[in-house]
């Protein structure tokens, strides 16, 4: 007996596309189909190790970042704690709270020469190659996010590791250097400490950070215990800027 149905294989492309589109629709007022097409053009039919940052230029044009004053929050080595904090308060916006950051956070994708598919398995990882499909995306959108930052910006760094600022991290190599001194007044480091913190605001790596800041941008540093962050985020009525 032949059943009159054709079971279409659920491809990796279809699965990835539906996650992309459903996350994108969460942000209202976007042409998500157009953004998906533009996104794909950066990497489909390409060697997944030969996707430079610039491949995502058309994507950033199709889904531009809006200028954001006094609320931009960068982070490095604090992914969990920073998002636990920003999801509770409207005072700060991380890259992952913007359309492109939200849509792609936590995902893996790449293409292959001679194929129009999107793959989600066996993609090169960060350390495999410099121009890898996923790391180039984060570098490109991080540059775009730094570029629209304005006023007083913040960065949550990890006070529980030996070197809280690394000049080769995306924060150190792209975001700090990409701040526009005509728009940005200051950068405040929020150094998250625990009981057994290993570093404080006098740490040598933070001197390096000050040196790397574009001329004219003021620098500040606050040591903030993780318990204080949790407390601060738990009161949504609390005025922005009263946390540290």
Task: Please select the residue that binds ligand ZNA; options are 13, 38, 94, 118, rule is CB under 6 A.
Answer: 94
Stretch that binds ligand ZNA, among 52-60, 84-92, 167-175, 203-211 (CB under 6 A): 167-175
d(CA 87, CA 174): 24
Contact between 170 and ligand ZNA by CB under 6 A: the answer reads yes
**Both tokens of residue 73?**
């929050």
In 3D space, the residue among 99, 71, 106 whose CA is nearest the CA of residue 86 turns out to be 71
Catalytic residue (one of 24, 32, 91, 150):
150
213 Cβ partners below 8 Å, 6+ apart?
176, 179, 187, 219
Establish whether 69 is a catalytic residue: yes
Contact between 77 and ligand ZNA by CB under 6 A: the answer reads yes
Binding residues for ligand ZNA, total number by CB under 6 A: 17
Task: Please select the residue that binds ligand ZNA; options are 16, 20, 56, 74, rule is CB under 6 A.
Answer: 74
Establish whether 24 is a catalytic residue: no
b/e per residue 110-143 (b: at least 16 CB within 10 A): bbbeeeebbbeeebbeeeebebbbbbbbbbbbbb
Contact between 98 and ligand ZNA by CB under 6 A: the answer reads no
CB nearer to ligand ZNA: give 13 or 98: 98
> Residue 48 CB, nearest distance to ligand ZNA (Å)?
15
Q: Binding residues for ligand ZNA, per CB under 6 A?
A: 74-77, 79, 94-96, 105, 126-127, 138, 142, 169-171, 175
């Amino acid at each position: 007996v032949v059943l009159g149905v054709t079971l279409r294989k659920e491809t990796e492309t279809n699965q990835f596309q539906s996650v992309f589109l459903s996350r994108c629709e969460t942000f209202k007022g976007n042409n998500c189909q157009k953004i998906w097409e533009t996104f794909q053009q950066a990497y489909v039919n390409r060697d997944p190790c030969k996707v430079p940052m610039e491949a995502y230029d058309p994507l950033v044009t199709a889904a531009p970042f809006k200028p954001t004053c006094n609320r931009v929050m960068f982070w490095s080595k604090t992914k969990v704690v920073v998002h636990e904090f920003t999801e509770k308060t409207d005072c700060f916006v991380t890259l992952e709270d913007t359309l492109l950051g939200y849509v792609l956070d936590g995902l893996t994708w790449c293409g292959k020469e001679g194929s129009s598919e999107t793959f989600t398995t066996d993609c090169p990882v960060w350390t495999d190659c410099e121009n890898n499909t996923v790391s180039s995306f984060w570098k490109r959108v991080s540059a775009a996010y730094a570029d629209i930052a304005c006023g007083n910006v913040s960065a949550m760094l990890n006070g529980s590791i030996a070197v809280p600022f690394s000049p080769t991290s995306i924060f150190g190599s792209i975001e700090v250097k990409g701040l526009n001194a005509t728009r940005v007044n200051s950068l405040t480091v929020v150094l998250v400490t625990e009981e057994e913190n290993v570093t404080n605001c006098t740490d040598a790596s933070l001197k390096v950070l000050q040196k790397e800041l574009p001329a004219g941008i003021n620098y500040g540093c606050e040591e903030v215990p993780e318990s204080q962050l949790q407390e601060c985020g738990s009161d949504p009525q609390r005025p922005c800027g009263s946390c540290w």
